Amino acid sequence: MKIKNLLSAIALCCCLPNYLLAQQEIQKDSIPSTREAKNRNVMLNASSDVQPRHISIGLPAKFASDIFEDGLPVSFCYWPVLPYTTWHNGVSQSSTSLMSLSESALQYGILDYIVSTTSRHAGNHFQGLANYTLNHHGKQQFDVNLSGPIAKGWGYTLGVYQNFDPGSNKLDVSRIQDRMEIYKIGLNKRWAEGRGEVSLLYQYATYTSIADARGPFYFNGADGSVDKFEDFDLGHDQYLPNYNPVHYLDIETNKEADKNIVDANRDHAHQLIFNLNYTWQNGTKFTFGSKLKDGEQLSAGYTPAGIFKVTASNGYTYENGQAYEGYVQNRHFMMPRGIERSWLTTATLSGKAGNRKQHAWRIGLNEWFNYQRMSYNTGIFPHEVKEDPKKLLLNGKIGTNYNAGADYYHGHENRLGMFISDDWTVNNRLWLSVGFRIEWQNTHGKGAFAYTADGKLFEPANIRKAGFNIVTGKPNRFTGDWINPSFTFNGRFTITRGFGLLGEYVYVRQRPNMQDYAGCYMPVESPININMLRGGIYYNADWIQLTSQVFHISQTNYKSRSQFTNPADQSETVTLPIVNDVATFGWTTDAMLTPFKGFSFHGLLTLQNPQYKNFKFQPIFKDGPGQLYDFNNKNTTAMSKMIIELDPSYQTGKWRFWLSFRYQSKQYINKTNTLYFKGRWETFGGIDYTLNEHVSFALNVVNILNQKGASGNIPAADLATDVSAYQHHYLMAGNYIRPFTMELKAAVKF
């Protein structure tokens, strides 16, 4: 109660801003936006065509990008109901933008780029929009929205999105690898000459994904290159056996069961969104959004683990009992079932103040509640290493190590936050922006932390009476009650017209959310402090917009659960929680050039040095504690030191031609920094043709250079200092980017 009173008092004080001091008249200049980031082509994703790409800021990437819709998060947290599984950026959206880092800190209490979209509402006239997209691998996509008036001020919107994607590497397990359906129906009412609007939107989304963008290849540790394994064609050949039905050990009942793989891979969500916007005649604006969501994640997947060679005496057989010898691919099986039931509400009041309207102020309040439940089954499944592989049995069993890495938890989380900001144009030369967020986070629930008698390792257990530790027999309850502040500052000083200095500082504090309590170890509950400081110059002219800045980003208590192989016994792999700090120092330059009519060129160069900090740990294996490892100042894995983006385009008449090239330099595979994948390009291009105001066409190409983009990890090498075994033609399996793809799109307005 004291915390709520504190937030209320702060909100009252902030509603009485001292903005009425007389100031000199301000002349307009190209004031930079602190709300949006530009020129990032966020939907050009080389790994997936259904989700936004991750834009590196120098910190390790999350599992999925955060997305906002109609001013509210699509998902309370990116896990368990991943945002992109119940969202699509299509004709039912009226606008799409990318939040700046400062804005994400104020709106959500994180430091990352967030995609933000707004649903399409009805106007004064009927409007129909339809897109049809297909590619040469057989994908078909339909996207339709109808909107129009009903009566005076009243309107409707109807949206349907359908995606059928068989993938480029046809799978026996399912004819369609990605299947998404989204249905929307909404009403809106406008009044006061359009200054007021209220809307109610219902949405149902379902998403099934059985994609497997993985395959075997030879890795050459000497130079980070990759060679083809036999005749296997990454991106086109199948590497997933027909694991249908899915066989698993239910962590809640401790009983083995089978499930159809389509039924085991179906996310769905019902959402009801209410929005209210009103703008007074003096420009003050009030926005209110509230959403109820009932979502469920069902997702069975098989991630490649180690590859090894066996003989007939090792116990591996085909399903018919015939002995097998050769290379074996172990697959780490995962079948999470997660539930999100959330109620998210945000209210914002904004306007301008001062004699010359030099202050653009904003006050906002979030009340976000979430119930979450997760039951996460795991196992190990072997198969052949070849195109169209067959399943293998080990000693007559289809799988092993059931639930050795399983999770289980359920509980609720509440986030009550308030944020304020002010953009102050001090005079013709100086512009300042400051923002502050304070959030009360309350977390409560039970997790299933089951240990063996020595209290070290997780083992399968009947946890129908969820939340009991089999050692103590007591419930494993967790609770958190924290205050999380965030702060942002932006400044700009004009030295001469079009040229000046830029500076920005962002601070965010976070605490564990429920997923951090999922495993068999209690998480570190110390605060996660994220700091970003950057500054530099800008130059704006008729034909160029340029910014060049140096930056430093750091994060304390970065948590991960990683698998480590015992160097003394490579048959033993353990999953351990790791806590360390990370930091990056770098320099970035972003330029937009328009040297002549119709032509534009966007270029970005980032040089950075992402490193582990305060990273020492001692893994514990069956034979006792291993050696003490010190990874301080080692480069973080799966992150590049150089990033380049090149985006030229040219428009003439009804035609537009565009290209997009992205380069990322080498990325280390293991924490000892002794192995890496060499750098690669991600390439896109297209031709757009506008027939008339009603019909347009687009021909797009993905992966123009047809690069494989192979990546992955070698668990056995993560702690290795002697990597001679990986220097030449080391057989492994990993991920690859989308292969060369031609896509045709037709858009109709009616």
- Cα–Cα distance between 739 and 733 in angstroms, integer? 17
What would the pLDDT profile of 581-627 be if each residue is shown by its tens digit? 999 999 999 999 999 999 999 999 999 999 999 998 888 777 777 78
Q: Where are the beta strands (DSSP E) in 385-426?
A: 393-394, 407-425
At 474 the pLDDT is 54
At 409 the pLDDT is 87
At 27 the pLDDT is 39
Asked if 715 and 306 touch (Cβ cutoff 8 Å), the reply is: yes
What would the pLDDT profile of 245-269 be if each residue is shown by its tens digit? 999 988 877 788 999 999 999 999 9
- Cα–Cα distance between 476 and 447 in angstroms, integer? 6
Tokens found for residue 279: 């703008």
> Can you tell me the mean pLDDT for 639-666?
96
What pTM did the predictor assign? 0.90
Which three-class secondary structure state does DSSP give residue 57?
Answer: coil
At 714 the pLDDT is 85
Q: What are 113's strand-pairing partners?
A: none
All residues at 6 or more sequence positions from 197 whose CB lies less than 8 Å from its CB, including other chains: 121, 188, 189, 190, 191, 275, 276, 277, 278
Tokens found for residue 586: 């770098």
* b/e code 74-93 from CB counts within 10 Å (16+ = b): bbbbbbbbbbbbbbbbbbbb
Q: Where are the alpha helices (DSSP H) in 152-260?
A: none
At 574 the pLDDT is 72
Q: What are 746's strand-pairing partners?
A: 132, 697
At 455 the pLDDT is 39
Confidence of residue 464 (pLDDT cuts 50, 70, 90): very low
Confidence of residue 25 (pLDDT cuts 50, 70, 90): very low
> Can you tell me the mean pLDDT for 372-377?
90
> Can you tell me the mean pLDDT for 415-433?
96
Count the neighbouring beta carbons within 10 Å of the beta carbon of residue 733. 23
Tokens found for residue 527: 């605060």
pLDDT at 15 over 70: no
Asked if 506 and 437 touch (Cβ cutoff 8 Å), the reply is: no
Q: What angle do CA 501, 506, 34 make, to 5 degrees?
A: 60
Maximum mean pLDDT: which of 29-38, 135-144, 450-459: 135-144
pLDDT at 541 over 60: yes
- Cα–Cα distance between 41 and 37 in angstroms, integer? 10
Report the share of the chain in percent with pLDDT over 90.
72
pLDDT at 469 over 70: no
- Cα–Cα distance between 90 and 96 in angstroms, integer? 9
At 493 the pLDDT is 97
Q: What are 443's strand-pairing partners?
A: 413, 480
Which three-class secondary structure state does DSSP give residue 355?
Answer: coil
Mean pLDDT in the chain?
88
Q: Where are the beta strands (DSSP E) in 210-325?
A: 214-220, 225-228, 246-250, 255-259, 266-279, 285-298, 301-310, 316-317
At 566 the pLDDT is 76
pLDDT at 476 over 90: no
At 294 the pLDDT is 97
Which three-class secondary structure state does DSSP give residue 319?
Answer: coil
Task: Report CA Rg, the chain.
Answer: 27
Asked if 60 and 612 touch (Cβ cutoff 8 Å), the reply is: no
Across the beta sheet with 72-73, the strand order is 72-73, 67-69, 115-119, 93-98
Burial grade of 151 (CB within 10 A; 0-12, 13-18, 19 or more): exposed
All residues at 6 or more sequence positions from 144 whose CB lies less than 8 Å from its CB, including other chains: 91, 128, 129, 130, 131, 159, 160, 161
| DSSP element (H, E) containing 541 | none
Confidence of residue 520 (pLDDT cuts 50, 70, 90): low
What would the pLDDT profile of 295-304 be if each residue is shown by its tens digit? 999 999 999 9
> Can you tell me the mean pLDDT for 236-241?
96
Cα distances (angstroms) measured from residue 405 to each of 350, 409, 434, 573, 574: 48, 14, 44, 11, 9
- With CA atoms as reference, report the closest residue to 251 among 372, 401, 397, 402: 402
- Cα–Cα distance between 114 and 73 in angstroms, integer? 9
All residues at 6 or more sequence positions from 276 whose CB lies less than 8 Å from its CB, including other chains: 197, 198, 199, 286, 287, 288, 289
> Can you tell me the mean pLDDT for 736-742?
95
Q: What are φ and ψ of residue 6, in 5° steps?
A: -60, -45
pLDDT at 547 over 50: yes
Of the options 2.40.170.20, 3.40.640.10, 3.60.40.10, 3.40.250.10, the CATH number for the domain spanning 2-749: 2.40.170.20
- Cα–Cα distance between 632 and 615 in angstroms, integer? 5
Q: Where are the domains of the chain?
A: 2-749
At 16 the pLDDT is 35
> Can you tell me the mean pLDDT for 133-162?
96
What would the pLDDT profile of 26-84 be if each residue is shown by its tens digit? 334 445 566 888 878 888 999 988 889 888 898 888 777 899 999 999 999 988 999 99
At 666 the pLDDT is 95
At 261 the pLDDT is 92
Tokens found for residue 398: 């289809």
Cα distances (angstroms) measured from residue 648 to each of 538, 592, 598: 21, 10, 11
Question: Greater confidence, 374 or 28?
Answer: 374
